[in-house]
Structure 1
Amino acid sequence: MSSANRRNPHLTLVSSSPQPRSAPPQGLELAWKNRQILSDRLDWPRGMLAICERVERDFPDWSIVWSDAWYWSGSRTRVGFYAEFRKTIFGVTVPKVFGATEKALRGALAKQAAAITRRKADRDRTIAFIRAAMR
């Protein structure tokens, strides 16, 4: 079903919900349903929801959304895909990731995954050093 975009009345978008969708990974059913509602309410262009789901299948520790420059955490954003790490890792800060395209997002997520691995290793070495010093 087509509709005019609320932010740009000259841009006609197609609702993403009629697209056939695969079942979400176990434990992410509510998150996937919420993203579908978000995509319908914010008039995401056709295919953006499917790309988010496809990338999230490959990077299940990340929550993926598409944005057309609406406000994200109080600041104006660029058009593209945003990813936020789902888990909390003690002593490791994980920033949000942006990619203008699916390929760019995948590259940024792979780079961030490597950085997380390095940060966890640094944290583990620090903890081991502190434990050894306390003996």
Structure 2
Amino acid sequence: MTDVTGETRTVVKERQLKHPPGKVWRALTQKHLIEEWLMACDFKAEPGHEFELQASWGRVSCKVLAAEPQKILSYSWKSQGLESVVTWTLKKTETGTLLRMEQTGFGQDQEQAFRGATTGWNVFLDRLNQVLSSQD
């Protein structure tokens, strides 16, 4: 799902996961788990903490903007001319957790980054689900 608003665009992905919010939160915030599904990092779930994500294609400079355990995690995402914000929202459901990822801030001239994020987040979320399932 994508949303076009004004001058910037947003990538939104939602997944219904069979895992409780606490388990999903750990996968979103514990360094060793993040590295299994996203990228190598030096993450801490503390507002103001600056960290980097590292992949074969380059680095992403980030800063934690909000961290409310089992509810919301938000951080800036700066890489290759893109300055955006990634926000994770967790909502407890009868069967587990509804996880919503929203990346905002894609300029109209950043089509490659927008398309890359649209596809890339699907891959990352599939990996996240695999990490969660492997911990059962």
Higher relative contact order (CA 8 A, sep 6+): 2
Q: Greater share of helix residues, 1 or 2?
A: 1
Structure number with greater Rg is 1
**Structure with the higher fraction of residues in strand conformation:** 2
